[in-house]
Amino acid sequence: MSDLLVSPACLEFLLFDWLRIDGKSGFDRETAGAILDMSSRLASGSFLSCYKRADVQEPYLDDSGTHILPEIAEALSQFRELGLFGASFPEELGGMGLPQSLSLAIYGLFASANISAAAYAMLTAGNARLISAFGTPAQIDMFARPEIEGRWFGTMCLSEAQAGSSLGDLRTRAVREGKDDLGERYRLTGNKMWISGADHDASENIIHLVLAKVANGDGSLPEGTQGISLFIVPKKLPDGTDNDVRVAGLNHKMGNRGTTNCLFNLGEEDGAIGWLVGAPGQGLPQMFQMMNEARISVGMGGAALACRGYRHAVRYARERTQGRPAGQRGGEPVPIIAHPDVRRMLLQQKAYAEAALALCLYCADLVDDGSEEAEELLALLTPVAKSWPSEFGLVANDLAIQVHGGYGYTRDFDVEQIWRDNRLNPIHEGTAGIQAIDLLGRKILRSDGQAMALLRRRIAATAEAARASAHWPVQAGVLDAYWDRVEAVVAGLRTCDSAEALDDATMFLRAFGHGIAAWLWLDMALTADAGGTGFAVGFASACRYFFEAELPQAHAWLAVVDGHGRSVRTCPDEAFI
């Protein structure tokens, strides 16, 4: 069944032939290959085998807490035994010391097998990384280490019912109680919403990282985002007693059902005990480190599900016979992969899925790089890595259903669940609209243009190589012209009213993402050509398709942004009847 997952060989190609992480990290290919193979075996075994069941048998809440599918707990326990919770953590913290790029590739394997099971590990690693980055040595020892070992799991508690995307409206309150070995101790009261993994029976303890506002002396809460601080709130306190946290209910989702998602109350009695992480008022900037990692992981989820659906569709299209080539009467029916419309749907899926995969790995490689230049570029690309794989991964999954025809609409096949699971990705960790404002507003229009200049240099380098290549000189020119156009559109937007400039931000984000995907496809095709690997034919086909059929559409999106249409802004409320 491993032919249904993200391909370990493709991951190895992207990491070592394309990104050349061995030259940067010193991490050798053979070891990485062995880790990817081991991960692929576990993913295609225990994770994939309960994919359907995770959908049908939802988590439930009773007096003893929240219960998840036992097979998911068992799969995570095997994941722990392989040390994979600590994949990307340094050895001195008990981790495996893998580069982020390789660690994200491993996550992609598991996400393609069973994303709602893999999510527990992703959340736990993000949580532990935040504590490792900003916590005290005592906090790291007490809370992060058991997470890195995979004995305790972690969550991130941001949203409240009235504060989803708008964190300045948080009402969870923290009152200082004193200080102990674990730092400044507070009592927290409030209600959190949409908390993934906030309760379950798969780990010994659950470490919540909670955003809350430290109350003013008069008991009032500071306004806006300034007063927000970050707290470690464990389900079970270090002395083994229960903290004052309680799950108030589970959300019943369309997909991604293996991951519990909870309404969650802090301080129904004396207040939940929480220890401040870092400095007071630094909650948001700290959390955004985790959020950025989480955003790239969400993108990887979208990419992984796109790959999964694609591989189901290819398998089905090779096996299913129906119809005959156009113009032919009589004779035996042919496998549907012979029909141009089916081939287009497969190629389109591949073009989305593998560019999405590459984009996420590229971003993780920038994390590993860690230079100032890499950080600038990463900040620019993170909203794209979150949203483009989510949006076009979902389109790919829609096509996977279509390739299956009526069978794809039944629950006997996996593609309908893959589509439902993937629909979460354009929503959580910041909707596409939020990412769009981040990209166009903060990262482009309100920036000094350094990151964009860096990006253009890297794109120019690819174009230059393509211009000198046997197959790709045409695409080189098309790519440069496309990015000239992006910059011209941005220049136009700089002359607009700053709020109105963001009116079409979502379409800009989409067009920007397509430009990135075109660049990566060209770069990957060049690498595959040079290496003479088994990926050359597929990558060249997808690259040609992307430039031929996708980039022209993206030009039209840019034209819409550039036209800066008034229809949305001038449309009065009474239009919506």
The Cα–Cα gap between 266 and 139 comes to: 20
Question: Quick one: 89 or 547, whose CB is closer to a copy of itself?
Answer: 547
Does residue number 576 form part of the binding site for a copy of itself (CB under 8 A)?
A: yes
The Cα–Cα gap between 280 and 177 comes to: 14
Which H or E run includes 128? Answer: helix 100-134
According to CB under 8 A, which residues from 437 to 496 bind a copy of itself? 437, 441
The Cα–Cα gap between 561 and 503 comes to: 9
Does residue number 244 form part of the binding site for a copy of itself (CB under 8 A)?
A: no
Query: Which of 121, 284, 505, 522 is close enough to bind a copy of itself by CB under 8 A?
Result: 505
Which H or E run includes 275? Answer: strand 272-277
The Cα–Cα gap between 212 and 210 comes to: 6
Does residue number 575 form part of the binding site for a copy of itself (CB under 8 A)?
A: yes
Stretch that binds a copy of itself, among 211-219, 355-363, 513-521, 540-548 (CB under 8 A): 540-548
End-to-end CA distance of the chain: 50
Stretch that binds a copy of itself, among 121-129, 141-149, 184-192, 339-347 (CB under 8 A): 339-347
Does residue number 288 form part of the binding site for a copy of itself (CB under 8 A)?
A: no
Question: Quick one: 273 or 540, whose CB is closer to a copy of itself?
Answer: 540
Report CA-CA distances (Å) from 74 to 78, 106, 291, 375, 414: 6, 18, 28, 37, 22
Does residue number 532 form part of the binding site for a copy of itself (CB under 8 A)?
A: no
According to CB under 8 A, which residues from 108 to 167 bind a copy of itself? 159, 162-166
Any bridge partners for residue 266, and if so which? 190, 245
Does residue number 296 form part of the binding site for a copy of itself (CB under 8 A)?
A: no
Does residue number 541 form part of the binding site for a copy of itself (CB under 8 A)?
A: yes
Does residue number 426 form part of the binding site for a copy of itself (CB under 8 A)?
A: yes
Q: How far is CA 39 from the centre of its chain?
A: 19
Residue 376: active-site member: no
Catalytic residue among 71, 429, 487, 548: 429
Size of the site for a copy of itself (CB under 8 A): 105
Does residue number 78 form part of the binding site for a copy of itself (CB under 8 A)?
A: no
Question: Quick one: 233 or 432, whose CB is closer to a copy of itself?
Answer: 432
Stretch that binds a copy of itself, among 100-108, 179-187, 330-338, 467-475 (CB under 8 A): 330-338
Query: At its nearest, how many Å lie between a copy of itself and the CB of residue 406?
Result: 5
Question: Quick one: 184 or 354, whose CB is closer to a copy of itself?
Answer: 354
Give the β-pairing of 205-214 and 152-157: parallel
DSSP per residue over 320-341, as a string? -B----TT--SS---BGGGSHH
Does residue number 279 form part of the binding site for a copy of itself (CB under 8 A)?
A: no
Stretch that binds a copy of itself, among 284-292, 340-348, 451-459, 464-472 (CB under 8 A): 340-348
Residue 114 makes CB contacts below 8 A (sequence gap 6+) with 43, 47, 48, 50, 51, 54, 72, 75, 258
Q: How many Å is the Cα radius of gyration of the chain?
A: 24
Q: Which amino acid is located at 110 in the chain?
A: F
The Cα–Cα gap between 14 and 4 comes to: 18
Question: Quick one: 167 or 374, whose CB is closer to a copy of itself?
Answer: 167
Q: Which amino acid is located at 76 in the chain?
A: L
For residue 496 the two structure tokens come to 């607009």
For residue 517 the two structure tokens come to 């995907």
Does residue number 194 form part of the binding site for a copy of itself (CB under 8 A)?
A: yes
Q: To 5 degrees, how large is the angle CA 571–CA 575–CA 576?
A: 115
Query: At its nearest, how many Å lie between a copy of itself and the CB of residue 313?
Result: 9
Does residue number 560 form part of the binding site for a copy of itself (CB under 8 A)?
A: yes
Does residue number 252 form part of the binding site for a copy of itself (CB under 8 A)?
A: yes
Q: How far is CA 305 from the centre of its chain?
A: 11
Q: Which amino acid is located at 356 in the chain?
A: A
Question: Quick one: 90 or 224, whose CB is closer to a copy of itself?
Answer: 224
Does residue number 106 form part of the binding site for a copy of itself (CB under 8 A)?
A: no
According to CB under 8 A, which residues from 382 to 411 bind a copy of itself? 394, 398, 401-402, 405-406, 408-411
Query: At its nearest, how many Å lie between a copy of itself and the CB of residue 217?
Result: 21
Query: Which of 91, 92, 218, 326 is close enough to bind a copy of itself by CB under 8 A?
Result: 326
Scan for tokens 């899926």, then name that residue.
349
Stretch that binds a copy of itself, among 104-112, 131-139, 514-522, 566-574 (CB under 8 A): 566-574
Scan for tokens 């991604």, then name that residue.
256
The Cα–Cα gap between 561 and 504 comes to: 6
Residue 371 makes CB contacts below 8 A (sequence gap 6+) with none
Query: At its nearest, how many Å lie between a copy of itself and the CB of residue 541?
Result: 4
Scan for tokens 């990491």, then name that residue.
15
Does residue number 565 form part of the binding site for a copy of itself (CB under 8 A)?
A: yes
Query: Which of 53, 171, 420, 458 is close enough to bind a copy of itself by CB under 8 A?
Result: 420
Query: Which of 11, 198, 272, 337 is close enough to bind a copy of itself by CB under 8 A?
Result: 337
Q: How far is CA 259 from the centre of its chain?
A: 15
Query: Which of 184, 244, 376, 504 is close enough to bind a copy of itself by CB under 8 A?
Result: 504
For the annotated catalytic residues, the residue numbers are 429
